[in-house]
Amino acid sequence: QLSNFLLNKNLTLTTFIFGIIERSLIPFGLHHIFYAPFWFEFGQYVSHSGELVRGDQRIWMAQMKDGVEFTAGAFTTGKYPFMMFGLPAAAYAIYRNAKPERKKIVGGLMLSAGLTSFLTGITEPLEFSFLFVAPLLYVVHV
């Protein structure tokens, strides 16, 4: 009953909890195991052609194809703003606050990590760079 309440009555709380758990699992590499069922299995939608579609990602694509109001995508769309803008901005802030004698090294690392996050959505290089230097910052980021 709790899962039914979370998915059907309070999707905002559900996606918040999902995000916290997923971000917390990244340092251990377990986030792939956690998010896969949400993205590819949970939920169902019957398309206009009568096909049963399962999984948040596939449902969103099917709804876009059918031209109907979106009821899916909650477990994927929230990641894009921080992967494309938030984390690269954090990389720039880290570069700006680096000691003058370390700016070149930090700049190379942060530029490559920020671009990787923006272009591919792979956030681990940037997140690990501040996880090991400032663990409290990572906790706030989660």
Q: What is the mean pLDDT of residues 93-118?
A: 95
Q: Round to whole Å and give the CA distance between 36 and 58.
A: 12
- In this predicted structure, the answer to whether residue 66 has a pLDDT above a threshold of 90 is yes
| Residue 72: inside a domain | no
Instruction: Specify the pLDDT at position 2.
Output: 67
pLDDT of residue 127: 92
pLDDT at residue 82, as a whole number: 86
CA distance 138 to 110: 16
Same-domain pairing of 53 and 87: no
106-139 pLDDT, tens digit each: 999 999 999 999 999 999 999 999 888 888 988 8
- Structural domains in the chain (count): 2
DSSP 8-state class, residue 50 = S
Distance CA 43, CA 75 (A): 11
Which of 11, 45, 66 terminates a domain? The answer is 66
Q: What is the pLDDT of residue 42?
A: 84
Is residue 21 classed as helix, strand or coil in its secondary structure?
A: helix
Q: Do residues 49 and 95 share a domain? A: no
Residue 98 has pLDDT above 70, yes or no: yes
How far apart, in whole angstroms, are the C-alpha atoms of residue 56 and residue 14?
A: 13
The reply to whether 73 falls in a domain is no
Lookup: tokens for 110: 């942060």
Q: What is the pLDDT of residue 78?
A: 77
Amino acid at site 66: D
Burial string for 72-104 (b: 16+ CB within 10 Å, else e) reads: bbbbeeebeebbeeebbebbeebbeebeeeeee
Largest CA distance in the chain: 63
Q: What domain range includes position 118?
A: 79-141
Same structural domain, 56 and 88: no
In tens, the pLDDT along 36-60 reads 988 888 888 999 999 999 988 899 9
Residue 113 lies in a domain: yes
